[in-house]
Amino acid sequence: MKIQPLFDRVLLKPIESKENRASGLILPESTSERPRLGVVVALGDGGETDGKPTKMYVKENDIALFSRYGGIDVKIDEEDYVIVRQTDILAIMEEN
Amino acid sequence: MKIQPLFDRVLLKPIESKENRASGLILPESTSERPRLGVVVALGDGGETDGKPTKMYVKENDIALFSRYGGIDVKIDEEDYVIVRQTDILAIMEEN
Amino acid sequence: MKIQPLFDRVLLKPIESKENRASGLILPESTSERPRLGVVVALGDGGETDGKPTKMYVKENDIALFSRYGGIDVKIDEEDYVIVRQTDILAIMEEN
Amino acid sequence: MKIQPLFDRVLLKPIESKENRASGLILPESTSERPRLGVVVALGDGGETDGKPTKMYVKENDIALFSRYGGIDVKIDEEDYVIVRQTDILAIMEEN
Amino acid sequence: MKIQPLFDRVLLKPIESKENRASGLILPESTSERPRLGVVVALGDGGETDGKPTKMYVKENDIALFSRYGGIDVKIDEEDYVIVRQTDILAIMEEN
Amino acid sequence: MKIQPLFDRVLLKPIESKENRASGLILPESTSERPRLGVVVALGDGGETDGKPTKMYVKENDIALFSRYGGIDVKIDEEDYVIVRQTDILAIMEEN
Amino acid sequence: MKIQPLFDRVLLKPIESKENRASGLILPESTSERPRLGVVVALGDGGETDGKPTKMYVKENDIALFSRYGGIDVKIDEEDYVIVRQTDILAIMEEN
């Protein structure tokens, strides 16, 4: 069974700080206001509002920097995930 | 007598945590902030706002992951249901 | 003298819990957050907003499930009524 | 000198509870949350918002049921009036 | 030097309660929630929002009844004025 | 190096109360709620919102009366300036 | 690995007060309400809202004056950055 997010929602698998350090981006756990990193696991098709489609700018496997606020925690098969709206994703981490 | 939700509202029959575990999705009751699972029992046709129709993205028998906030509890024939707006449904659980 | 609601407002005659039980829907009075049932007695024609008409989805004699919040209590000829906006009506109860 | 309300505003002369009883509608003064009755004395032409005209659904001499909230009290020639926006008028009382 | 209000703003010279009484409209100073009377001294041309012009419904020398809330006090040449948005003007006083 | 405001923002050089008195407009510093006077030093081109351009109604060297709220203080070369949105400018002072 | 902001977000490298003084703009650290200066390191393409594209008015290497509110702190390779929405950028510093 898999999760299919609705509208512009994105399911993220948070990345631990250790992995972050390896990628050159350090987001210490002690600073709770800092945004988090996560891998895009699944996403909605944007849906539509007032008859206008919402474009999705992220795709599966993207590494997303997302705000700690607005995310909803979900546990699937003993693992932690977060569901956010696309607008709560601040940036995508790209390879140089 | 049956309930016909209006606008984009969806009537859900919450699924117990035991059933959840069977489906591989575990949402412990002790964590009150976590979203809940429920089966779509009935739904409105979306209605329209400012002359524009609202599309419905869920259908009867869908298993929905929905936010604990915004839902309204209703008791029908001694059983508990929840009425939510479609936008409070985070994702649909699909068979692999 | 009768009440003609304006815009999308609906005048409802609340149904007692006893009648509710007969119809299979039980909404105990002790749980104040639960929605209430009421019969549609009169309704506005929707009016218009920004030049666009508002459609009415309920009609006289419908049995409506409505939110306790947002309703305004009115007493007519010693009987209690409630005026709600159509959007505060969650669902319509239909015969099987 | 007379008052000409602007936009969708309506000048109302509140009706005492005694007169209300005569018309079959009883709104006891002791229940402060209940809406009030008033006669439409003057009204604006609706004005326009974003280039779209606002329709007026009430007319002079209508008996209006209006919300206690949002009204502004005005005293003219020793008599009390209330100015409300048309959207704060819940219903119009019509002769049977 | 004169004040030219921007957008839909209106510069008003408040009228004392004594003058009010003469015109038949009494707004006792002791009731601070009551609206005030003022003469329109200058006004903006409405400006535009989202490419749509805002119409002005008042003109110089109009006697305006305006809400106490939202007005900004200004002192010019030792005299007190108030700047309000046109939407805070409740009504215009017209000669019979 | 100069400041180029973005969107509908306006950079103002506040005028002291002494200069105000000379121009006939007195805004005593002791009354903190009163609006302030300032000379327009630089302004944005309005930018656009939802594809529609925002018109600018002020120009360099205008003397603006602006609300104390919403302004952001900036210090440039030891002098104090304020950045406001055009909509926080109440009026322009014009020569008679 | 580099950060690619989404929508109208802008990644800024804050400039220290010492550098600010060199450029003639002094924003003392002690005044916490004052806006900050930063160099634009990366920016989104604006994205679109309701089917309408959002224009970007800043570009890489611009020196931006931005509000302290609304910015999100991010640490990359031991250095501090801030992510803001373009609308939180007050002005661009240009060479004379």
Q: b vs e for C79-90, b when ≥16 Cβ sit within 10 Å of the residue's Cβ? A: eebbbbbbbbbb
Mean pLDDT, chain E, whole residue set: 84
Cβ-Cβ contacts under 8 Å for A33 (sequence gap 6 or more) = A68, G73
**% of chain F residues with pLDDT over 70:** 77
Given a cut of 50, whether residue C33 has pLDDT beyond it is: yes
Given a cut of 70, whether residue C31 has pLDDT beyond it is: no
Which amino acid is residue C42, in one-letter code?
Answer: A
Q: Which of G29, G11, G6 is nearest to G72 (CA)?
A: G11
How confident is the model over A29-74, as pLDDT tens digits?
A: 445 567 889 999 999 999 986 678 899 999 999 999 998 887 899 8
Domains, chain B: 9-93 (2.30.33.40)
At residue E33, the pLDDT reads 65
- Min distance F44 CA to chain G CA atoms (Å): 8
List residues bridging with E37 in a β-sheet.
E65
* Chain B neighbors of A76, CB-CB under 8 A: 24-26
Cβ-Cβ contacts under 8 Å for F30 (sequence gap 6 or more) = none
CB of E5 within 8 A of CB of E83? yes
Q: How far is it, in rounded angstroms, from Cα G34 to Cα G66?
A: 9
- Give the ipTM: 0.86
Report residue F42 CA to chain centroid gap.
9
Q: How far is it, in rounded angstroms, from Cα B38 to Cα B17?
A: 11
Q: Which of A72, A46, A74, A75 is nearest to A58 (CA)?
A: A46
Q: How far is it, in rounded angstroms, from Cα C59 to Cα E77?
A: 62
At residue A32, the pLDDT reads 53
Are C7 and D87 an interchain contact pair (Cβ–Cβ within 8 Å)?
Answer: yes
Report residue F54 CA to chain centroid gap.
17
Are E50 and F53 an interchain contact pair (Cβ–Cβ within 8 Å)?
Answer: no
Report the run of H or E that residue B3 belongs to, with start and end: strand B2-5
Q: Which of A53, A46, A44 is nearest to G50 (CA)?
A: A53
At residue A27, the pLDDT reads 60
Confidence of residue C2 (pLDDT cuts 50, 70, 90): confident
How confident is the model over F30-61, as pLDDT tens digits?
A: 455 678 899 999 999 999 866 788 999 999 99
Cβ-Cβ contacts under 8 Å for A60 (sequence gap 6 or more) = A40, A41, A42, A43
- Min distance F18 CA to chain E CA atoms (Å): 13
Confidence of residue D53 (pLDDT cuts 50, 70, 90): confident
Given a cut of 90, whether residue G30 has pLDDT beyond it is: no
Mean pLDDT, chain D, whole residue set: 83
Chain C residue with Cα closest to B82: C34
Which amino acid is residue G46, in one-letter code?
Answer: G
- Tokens 């040449």: give the residue: E77
CB of D42 within 8 A of CB of E96? no
At residue G79, the pLDDT reads 86
* Burial environment of residue A35 by CB neighbours within 10 A (0 to 12, 13 to 18, 19 or more): buried
Q: Nearest by CB to A50, which of G5, G42, G50?
A: G50
Which of B7, B50, B69, B72 to substitute to test the interface with C, most C CBs within 10 Å?
A: B72
Residue C59's Cβ-side half-sphere holds a number of Cα atoms within 13 Å equal to: 1
Sign of the alpha-carbon torsion through A74, A75, A77, A80: positive
- Tokens 């606002």: give the residue: D54
Mean pLDDT, chain G, whole residue set: 83
Given a cut of 80, whether residue A1 has pLDDT beyond it is: no
Phi, psi of F73 (to 5 degrees): -80, 135
Are A72 and B93 an interchain contact pair (Cβ–Cβ within 8 Å)?
Answer: no
At residue D27, the pLDDT reads 60
- Tokens 């008409």: give the residue: C53
* Chain G neighbors of A25, CB-CB under 8 A: 1, 3, 75-77
Q: Which of E2, F34, C89 is nearest to B83 (CA)?
A: C89
List residues bridging with E2 in a β-sheet.
F94
Which tops the pLDDT comparison, A86 or B29?
A86
Mean pLDDT, chain F, whole residue set: 83
Chain F residue with Cα closest to G95: F1
At residue D69, the pLDDT reads 80
At residue B95, the pLDDT reads 74
At residue G27, the pLDDT reads 60
Which amino acid is residue C19, in one-letter code?
Answer: E
Confidence of residue B25 (pLDDT cuts 50, 70, 90): low
Phi, psi of B40 (to 5 degrees): -70, 115
How confident is the model over G40-91, as pLDDT tens digits?
A: 999 999 998 667 888 999 999 999 999 888 789 988 877 889 999 999 999 9
Are D91 and C83 an interchain contact pair (Cβ–Cβ within 8 Å)?
Answer: yes
List residues bridging with B36 in a β-sheet.
B66
Largest Cα separation within chain A, whole Å, is 44
Helix locations, chain A, DSSP H = 17-22
Given a cut of 90, whether residue C75 has pLDDT beyond it is: no
Given a cut of 90, whether residue E78 has pLDDT beyond it is: no
How confident is the model over E22-65, as pLDDT tens digits?
A: 556 656 544 556 788 999 999 999 998 667 889 999 999 999 99
Q: Which of F61, F79, F76 is nearest to F10 (CA)?
A: F61
Q: How far is it, in rounded angstroms, from Cα C5 to Cα C45?
A: 8
Are G34 and F73 an interchain contact pair (Cβ–Cβ within 8 Å)?
Answer: yes
Q: Nearest by CB to F72, which of G55, G67, G94?
A: G67
Are B6 and C95 an interchain contact pair (Cβ–Cβ within 8 Å)?
Answer: no
